[in-house]
Amino acid sequence: MPTARPTARVTASGTPATGSPSGPADTSSAGASASTSPTGGASPAGRPLAGRTVLLDPGHNPGNAAHATEINRQVDIGNSHKECDTTGTETDAGYSEAAYTLDVSHRIRDILQGLGATVVLTQDGDRPWGPCVTERAAIGNSAHADAAISVHGDGGPASGSGFHVILPAKVVAGVADNAAIVDPSRRLGLLVRQKFQAATGEPYADYIADQGLDTRSDLGGLNLSTVPKVFIECGNMRNAGDAKRMTDPQWRQRAAQGIADALTAHLTTPAG
């Protein structure tokens, strides 16, 4: 659910979430947080992302609700302190944001690996809680990712629907200095907005004013990133229409394709 807004307009997920009764069993392999694309057999033309690294950050963790002490610990995001992580939201039927984000991230990973990319996940259902937002940023930085995206579902007002992309505001304070990635992140964000809408038909969020874009200075995953990074709130899980779409495996595949298309365009099209 939306949180108090500091220096920029804020929307965020918030209500506790467990389980995924509406979603299908995930067929992707789980385990290691880093996956390297296979080599050999395909022509360079069929592997346009060979040699590129993408960081996928599935928002939240199904175990967070059982680890309140750990996730409520305050961490330094440069211009303030905030919780290590949150529980995320869920649909009225109990399909959790954490289940949604991991499923979609697996689908994106499969597409990108097929194009030759090395894909790193901040978590792959392989840890009991977290990681903290500071570690989520650090994983992408350490991987020297060429692009990074944090996948979420929003917990907005039930009357609101649609998706939006969150861009980093420039934050140079304390341990944070993301000045170098603000412009390339905006370019990535515009591509995500375009390709996600083309793939899913989802409208821009009608409870966010700026045509599906929200620039924020209160997210550690963006403040602390040294690689181009955006968040996507793929829909409002508290809205009945969005929830119905987000619990549909075929729609989730289209969502993954749109995000993968945006990352591919960002990494293969010269800036300018």
Question: What does the alpha-carbon distance between residue 220 and residue 107 come to, in Å, rounded to a whole number?
Answer: 25
Question: What does the alpha-carbon distance between residue 96 and residue 111 come to, in Å, rounded to a whole number?
Answer: 23
Question: What does the alpha-carbon distance between residue 54 and residue 109 come to, in Å, rounded to a whole number?
Answer: 9
Question: What does the alpha-carbon distance between residue 16 and residue 184 come to, in Å, rounded to a whole number?
Answer: 33
Q: What is the dihedral of CA 237, 8, 267, 61, to 10 degrees?
A: -40
Which of 97, 135, 202, 233 is an active site residue?
233
Closest CA to 151 of 194, 93, 99: 99
Closest CA to 168 of 155, 153, 180, 158: 180
70 is catalytic: no
Could you tell me the CA-to-CA distances from 24 to 44, 184, 236 in Å, in that order?
A: 34, 35, 19
CB 147 within 8 A of CB 49: no
CB 133 within 8 A of CB 219: yes
The H or E element spanning position 255 is helix 249-268
Residues that are catalytic: 233
